[in-house]
Structure 1
């Protein structure tokens, strides 16, 4: 068996695979014998089917299968041995003669390959790249503090109605003269929240009312005839509410309010673990530290975007095996039309350039992603997930167990490994240019990512 390479230009080549009988005969014979042992054919007991009959019936299929395996192995071994940096995978050369699979014949197969171009990027201290440090201002600290206080708050009973309260009481339908309607709608434990009342005039009737007091309002006007909300309040069918326009008397029994957590030790412990924070100043400092750590990820993302633009600006004239890559895309994405490929191809090439540059830099710098790097990334991700549910200061032993479970999942492990590699690439890129550290507010920074 022989593989030879014919370079058409710097990025296109053909691999010619030559296979002789000595390469496949023994393998085909073994495949025939293995099949014969378990073949179940009329007139023969298992294992007694003549070899000649098996070859006659299935010989070409076995030959084709073994030759295809040889081709696959030959291509893989050659590419690995020659250290070819190819893009995509080898695909059969168009219009190259397809051989008949005859036992004892010599075979030739031709495959097209795309060779990655040389990407020479010059990065040095002369390249100044802004690195945005997002300042943690009082507005962000206050917002995060309010979020924590809201998360760890609780429902309390109060005496005077405010907009976000939930009012529980007795609702009674009234006649036109204001008297209670006999056999009218009556709800013993009606629930009403001023915040959901759409009519400003009707909302005023309940705001400021106290427990055990009553007020008269019009539900239909309050909710602007919304069938679902009226049916829920009046506890009648949606058909019935369509004709319900009467005023109602509401007698308040309870006023429930969600109160934010107080700034005390119980609250601090709930947020960050027992005795981690012992004062409001320490709490504020912890909030600021957490936001700053979170913003480093955002700053790195912006830095990567800017570095990508800098690098790609140096690679505008680099040529790729465009025709091959479009054929390869079509072969691997049958649902994509030629028009879609043409439309998406330029972006794909830009992404490919950037990936190749990062891979080259990482290889030259000897960047390696260790198990500890992956676990650290997974641990940060786990902390972020727990934080979303208000679970701050989760003990390390619980985090470690969660991380191990996360990494047992194939997709989770792959994602963590990719993120760990990306972190190392970010640090590598930072070392290759001059960073112009620039302070910026969160609002100003967010504008970079607004859709134009």
Structure 2
């Protein structure tokens, strides 16, 4: 077997593979002999079928199969040995006069080669690194929420502007009949509030669904319907009032602090607000980090210029899927995936040049941290090391989980690298301002 490469240009090459009869004949003969031993053909005893008949029935199929195996194994080996950085997979070139009866067989494969380029992490124009701070307004709102959540319900006979109303929403046409509890301070419609205030248990109020709540998702919950239906809904529903309660705020005392944060971890309202600020800003870090990662990625794609073997990639996309695509479909698919492919190449070069690797021991520790944070959400704040170790071992035995965690850890390594080497400008903002600037 002889394999040679013809360079077309910097991004395209053709690999030629010449296979002689000596390369495949022994394997083909061995397989056909095995077929002869097992063949059941009428008129012949098992194992006594003439080899000529076996070759006539199975020879071409076995030959094709063995040659394809040879091609695949040796072509992959050649690409590895020659250190050819290819995009997609080699594409066989169409040969109109190809004849499988020839002793010597010649094949050609098109290659799309990865471009050569340099990556500069430190860009001329600075990327904004948001530092989200919990302002006084947010902290006070959180304190109010805590007091409401842990406060006690006091039954009332008449609805006030800050009360909770439990009742059944009904609309026969839309087949709605759902009991739920509504807080009046979450209602947006002034007409609805005016209609409810002053009403008593046993009375019925008619409400319009459009613009009823401050948050759209609350309508689907109140009516017991899916969110897609709720978004389009513009009807009147009747609310049969069954219960009215005022939520009396909880006292900010040591009993509440211990319930929220464990015994004696918080001892005053001032410490409560400091803890809320600390915890909130820690949660905000994840969002600002993701924004930073996205923005640096966009800047790298924008500033790192290189060509791709576009024609080859369109051809490869056209034939590599489950169903072949038309020329226009392949072009559309390439246009959609080009940006992602560019960043894959940029990211790969950054990882290689900065020797970023995911080791199994650090992946295990990373998984422990992830498990610990998950357990904390369910109130298990201090798991034992042995417990974490056992769960981590189970997680690491799942290849899909290992892949997912490896990608997350590599993203963290890239983020740390960008924080160290990229041109960043830190900007302090409140959460509301962050949402406006980052997602407007």
Q: Same fold (TM over 0.5)?
A: yes
Which of 155, 159, 176 in structure 2 is aligned with 1:158?
155
> What CA deviation, in whole Å up to 9, does each residue of 1:173-224 have, x standing for no partner?
xxxxxxxxxxxxxxxxx99978599855652343xx6xxxx77x4x3x5457
Match of 2:276 in 1: 287
Alignment of 1:64-83 (within 5 A): 64-83=64-83
Unmatched segments (≥5 aa) in structure 1: 169-189, 226-231, 233-248
Which of 307, 317, 329 in structure 2 is aligned with 1:319?
307
Conserved? CA contact 1:6–1:13, under 8 Å? yes
Matched, 1:100 2:105: no
Q: Within 2, Cα distance between the matches of 1:346 and 1:312?
A: 15
The 3-state SS of whatever aligns with 2:129 is: strand
Alignment of 1:49-448 (within 5 A): 49-93=49-93, 95-97=94-96, 99-102=98-101, 105-124=103-122, 128-145=126-143, 153=150, 156=153, 158-160=155-157, 162=160, 164-166=163-165, 203-206=196-199, 217=203, 219=204, 222=206, 263-264=252-253, 267-268=256-257, 271-272=260-261, 276-316=265-305, 318-333=306-321, 334=323, 337-382=326-371, 385=374, 391=379, 393=381, 395-397=383-385, 400-448=389-437
1:138–1:8 Cα change, 3 Å:
same
1:156–1:447 Cα change, 3 Å:
closer
1:421: Cα distance to partner?
0.8
Conserved? CA contact 2:395–2:401, under 8 Å? yes
Conserved? CA contact 1:272–1:393, under 8 Å? no
Conserved? CA contact 2:92–2:109, under 8 Å? yes
1:52–1:222 Cα change, 3 Å:
same
Unmatched segments (≥5 aa) in structure 2: 168-178, 210-222, 224-239
> What CA deviation, in whole Å up to 9, does each residue of 1:121-160 have, x standing for no partner?
334486643322112223333455556666x648745355
TM-score (norm 1): 0.73
The structure with the largest alpha-carbon Rg is 1
TM-score (norm 2): 0.75
1:420: Cα distance to partner?
0.7
Conserved? CA contact 2:5–2:16, under 8 Å? yes
**RMSD over aligned Cα, in angstroms?**
3.9
Match of 1:13 in 2: 13
> What CA deviation, in whole Å up to 9, does each residue of 1:81-138 have, x standing for no partner?
1111111111112x33463323x71111111111011111334486643322112223
Q: 46-55 or 19-28, which moves further after superposition? A: 46-55
Match of 2:41 in 1: 41
Q: Within 1, Cα distance between the matches of 2:180 and 2:331?
A: 59
Q: Within 2, Cα distance between the matches of 1:268 and 1:400?
A: 31
The 3-state SS of whatever aligns with 2:98 is: coil
1:194–1:134 Cα change, 3 Å:
closer
1:260–1:123 Cα change, 3 Å:
same
Conserved? CA contact 1:127–1:433, under 8 Å? no
